[in-house]
Amino acid sequence: MASTPDSTAVAASERSTAVTGRRRTAPAAPGARRGFPSATLHNSRVDALDGLRTLAVALVLVYHVDHTLVPGGSIAVDVFFTISGFVITRQLLAEYSRTGTLALLPFYRRRWLRLVPALLALCAVCLVLATTTSLWSFDGSWQAVGLAATFLTNVFRAADSGSYGGPLAHTWSLGVEEQFYLLWPLLLLGLLRRLRARTVLLCTAALCVLPFLWRCVLWHPDAVHRIYNGTDTRADELLAGALVAVVLARLRQDDPRLRLLRVWAGRLALPALALLALVAWKVPVTGNAGIWTALWYTGGILAVAALSATLVAGLELRPDGPLSRLLGFAPLAWTGRNLSYGIYLWHYPVVRLLASLDVEVGLLTGTVVLTLAMALLSYYLVERPFLRRARRHRT
């Protein structure tokens, strides 16, 4: 195992003691001084997580084409939330460990460059189709574009007692993520500046429970749309990923607790994935299933967050494990890294477009082919140029 900054510093101190006869205290690495000694060691992309993104977006696509094939396929969005919370928090902690602060404006700029240009391109296409054709699937595009471009689709859906089904209805999840990206760095920076690292970890764990308690307070059969679309009621899924990032940054590489966590996360990752797959296959998450619906919209969301966090931890800590190697298969990883966002953006309007053209035979195949084509165009013509700009502005 390569030596960590801390072990190097200790070795230098011991050499100094041997020469002078006096023991000196070695200077701690910046991350160690701030209580997160491993923060900068866990800051690279994980191929298996990118492969997991591919599986998740494929599940969402199939669900929107024919939800009877995977009644619980919408939980793929829950998995996306947990991955996002983990990745963003890991990046924030690495920056804080290096610099002692978080550069919030550059962070928000990078998020804008990553998400907004491709979204605006989709919005423009929807408006063109709405104004130049009579396709019913693009009725209401002006309102849909306004909500999507301002990341307020989830707010509108949460307040809507019916089922909002505009051409960009799926952007509710982008609203949840963007609102989390807006608030979480501010809150995390406040915690990091005022509290010890251990207390930050405990506060993050406590925050994971609050949305569950809030859902229990809100629960009523008429509150399904409110709970499903609210950032406050879905935050535990993002915070579960954030908690994994805080725990891994907090533990030194030679900490026996990290070794224990690596063993158990590796063992539980595959069962967690299997349980998530079982829910997607058999459980009608968005249907009305009596008592099950009540259980799902209170504790079920937290349970999925815990399973997703277990899976993320296992893939992060066991990159050499069989599941990591499977999900890290190069085509899967490349698709998840580069196309998953475009696939998510385009698949729902494509489904509606083909439905409005009365395509029934080969609907799934047609959706996959057309969505991949649009995602490739989005990546090469829109996303990649702006991603280069985002990298140039990294701090």
Q: Which of 116, 185, 111, 177 is nearest to 394 (CA)?
A: 111
Asked if the structure places residue 294 within a domain, the reply is yes
User: Tell me: the pLDDT tens digits for 264-321?
Assistant: 999 999 999 999 999 999 888 776 767 888 999 999 999 999 999 999 999 999 999 9
Asked if the structure places residue 22 within a domain, the reply is no
Q: What is the pLDDT of residue 201?
A: 97
| pLDDT band for position 182 (cuts 50, 70, 90) | very high
- Using the predicted structure, report yes or no on whether residue 21 has a pLDDT greater than 50: no
| Residue scoring higher pLDDT (95 or 1) | 95
Q: Are 169 and 144 in contact (CB under 8 A)?
A: yes
Average pLDDT, the chain: 89
Asked if the structure places residue 9 within a domain, the reply is no
- Using the predicted structure, report yes or no on whether residue 9 has a pLDDT greater than 90: no
Q: What is the pLDDT of residue 160?
A: 80
Of the listed ranges 6-15, 201-210, 326-335, 336-345, the one predicted with least confidence: 6-15
Q: What is the pLDDT of residue 368?
A: 97
Find the domain containing 74 and state its range. 29-392
Residues 6+ apart with CB under 8 A from 351: 61, 64, 65, 363, 367
Asked if the structure places residue 283 within a domain, the reply is yes
Number of domains in the chain: 1
Q: What is the pLDDT of residue 387?
A: 87
Asked if the structure places residue 114 within a domain, the reply is yes
- Using the predicted structure, report yes or no on whether residue 4 has a pLDDT greater than 50: no
User: Tell me: the pLDDT tens digits for 187-203?
Assistant: 999 999 999 999 999 99
Give the angle subtended at the CA of 143 by the CAs of 365 and 233, to the nearest 5°: 80
Give me the mean pLDDT over the 355-362 stretch.
Answer: 92
| pLDDT band for position 207 (cuts 50, 70, 90) | very high
Asked if the structure places residue 20 within a domain, the reply is no
Q: What is the pLDDT of residue 287?
A: 65
Asked if the structure places residue 65 within a domain, the reply is yes
Give me the mean pLDDT over the 370-380 stretch.
Answer: 98
User: Tell me: the pLDDT tens digits for 114-167?
Assistant: 999 999 999 999 999 999 999 999 999 999 999 999 999 999 999 886 666 789
Q: What is the pLDDT of residue 6?
A: 41
- Using the predicted structure, report yes or no on whether residue 365 has a pLDDT greater than 80: yes
| pLDDT band for position 34 (cuts 50, 70, 90) | confident
Asked if the structure places residue 10 within a domain, the reply is no
Q: What is the pLDDT of residue 15?
A: 39
- Using the predicted structure, report yes or no on whether residue 342 has a pLDDT greater than 90: yes
- Using the predicted structure, report yes or no on whether residue 22 has a pLDDT greater than 60: no
Q: What is the pLDDT of residue 326?
A: 97
User: Tell me: the pLDDT tens digits for 57-67?
Assistant: 999 999 999 99
Q: What is the pLDDT of residue 11?
A: 41
Q: What is the pLDDT of residue 394?
A: 59
